[in-house]
Structure 1
Amino acid sequence: MGILDLFSLEGKIAMVTGGGGGIGRGIALGLAEAGADVAVAGRREQLLKDVGKEIEDRGRRTLALPTDVRDWSNVEGLVQSMMDHFGRIDIWVSNAGGLQEQSVNFLVKTPEESWDATTTLNFKAPWMCAKAVWPAMRSTGGGAIINVSSVGAISRGAPTNGVYTASKAGLNHLTKTLALEMAPFNIRVNAILPGSVRTEDYEDASGGDDEYFAKMAENEPLKRLGKEEDFGAAAVYLASDASSWVTGTLLMVAGHP
């Protein structure tokens, strides 16, 4: 087998939560281009259908599943829908996440409901996804789980953005612990830590315009922000046999050390 063959996902079945745009879209299309059939889940149905059409245009099967992964019964429903439709699940990408309000606060000024909503989406939901999907993966001999975290989770601290980064830091440790617990079942668990990316959610949270993001890019060592395909490439690596001896890893895709 040649080195490039290790990156093939031909015959694999994947799920990407938060797959309707931004990083999730880039990951879903990357997996499809590598040969996987890809289901996408999220709260915006039309965006999911649009990404599904792009997946089909790449010759792959797809399934668009509108849902909210903050609810356990919904997560169970995702797994069941995929098993009913595809018969197996090989790859699960927990990408759904973000800030649950447009304004940011110091930790001690954060309303409890905002804390709960943000930590549920960024930390509890990926745990629920892993809990729901691992029996299906175990039954077919293994799989790959990829959590999408943030470089902010490994910073020295994040004043005004502490709830988000704290929840992602928890996700990093969750990733490492799940990797150890699931290794006996040949299920690998890794995380992608994106750096600065111009997404719709980031625009809404920051209020940034073209000038704002241009200045941000100028401050990056590589003089650009992340692109969707940067994360698609990382996900293909972590989902494929190219990373068969990689688990519990936090892979920075950030354009800087």
Structure 2
Amino acid sequence: MSVFDRFRLDGKVAIVTGASSGLGITFALALAEAGADIALGARRTELLEETRRKVEALGRRCVAVATDVAEPADCAALVAAARDGLGDVDILVNNAGMARVVPTHRDDPAEFARVLQVNLTGAYQMAQAFGRACIDAGHGGSVINMSSVLGMVSTDAPQPAYSASKAGLLGMTRDLAMQWTRRRGIRVNALVPGLVVSGMTEAIQADEQASASALASIPMRRLGDPDELVGALLLLASDAGSYITGSSLVVDGGWTAQ
């Protein structure tokens, strides 16, 4: 097997949440190009169907399921649909998430809780459903939790709920790796993007002060392109990353190196 062959995902089944827009589409198409069949989950079903057509145009099988990761039943249903339609699952990309930029003194605790419910609890519920499916099938797998450098550093844009949820994902990643890798063969890692052009960073891009402050902290002096995350994603998803678990792979233009 060549070095490049280790990045292939032929015969694998991958689940991508938050697959109706932004990074979710980028990740779904990258996994499909690498050879995986794809199960897509998101709340916006009309946009989800567009992603499904793009995946199928690459010659891969695909199922699309309306999914709110905040609902445990939806998480279980997405995994079940993937198994029924495509076969045993191998990869989970926990990408679904939401952002909220609001000063703490004006924040609504219910809205704070909602961000954590989607970004952190939802990722846990998806990992739980995926892990159970892998254990039931008697094989390992790879969980990739989409965190953020905002779980490690801060910007001038006030977003405590988002930052807390992404920091929580880093801790959850380590714990799940300790539980599942040794006994179950399931690798669990976090992909930690810096500021990447996407819907999630629109608020920071729109805030002149926050944008200037963030760019001043990034040695590359620019936002990342979504495609610049694909190499890291495929590393963690494939046999090329077979000795990586419990890690947080940072792709941030150097921001956290300072």
Q: 1:19 to 1:112 in 2, by over 3 A?
A: same
Q: 1:28, 1:232 within 8 Å by CA — same for their partners in 2? A: no
1:197 paired with 2:196, answer yes
Q: 1:84 to 1:251 in 2, by over 3 A?
A: same
Which SS does the other structure have where 2:220 is aligned?
coil
TM-score by length of 1: 0.90
State, as a whole percentage, how many aligned pairs show the same letter.
37
Structure 1 residue ranges, 4+ long, deviating more than 3 angstroms after superposition? 156-159, 212-220
What is the CA distance between 1:182 and its match in structure 2?
0.3
Q: Distance in 1 between matches of 2:119 and 2:11?
A: 30
Structure 2, unaligned stretches of length 5 or more? none
Within-5 A mapping of 1:9-88: 9-88=9-88
TM-score by length of 2: 0.90
Q: Distance in 1 between matches of 2:157 and 2:47?
A: 32
Q: Distance in 2 between matches of 1:251 and 1:97?
A: 18
- Which of structures 1 and 2 has the larger relative contact order (alpha carbons within 8 angstroms, sep 6+)? 1
Q: Distance in 1 between matches of 2:26 and 2:145?
A: 14
What is the CA distance between 1:200 and its match in structure 2?
2.5
Q: Distance in 2 between matches of 1:189 and 1:20?
A: 24
Equivalent position amino acid for 1:118 in 2: V
Structure 1, unaligned stretches of length 5 or more? none
Deviation track 1:166-211 (CA, whole Å, cap 9, x = no partner) reads 11111100000000100111100001111111213432x347299x
Q: Distance in 2 between matches of 1:14 and 1:82?
A: 8
Equivalent position amino acid for 1:196 in 2: L
Within-5 A mapping of 1:62-211: 62-99=62-99, 101=100, 103-106=101-104, 108-138=105-135, 139-155=137-153, 160-183=158-181, 184-203=183-202, 205-206=203-204, 208=206
Q: 1:220 to 1:85 in 2, by over 3 A?
A: same
Which SS does the other structure have where 2:187 is aligned?
strand
Superposition RMSD in Å: 2.4
Match of 1:234 in 2: 232
Q: 1:26, 1:231 within 8 Å by CA — same for their partners in 2? A: no
Q: Which moved more, 1:221-230 or 1:69-78?
A: 221-230
Equivalent position amino acid for 1:80 in 2: A
What is the CA distance between 1:220 and its match in structure 2?
3.6
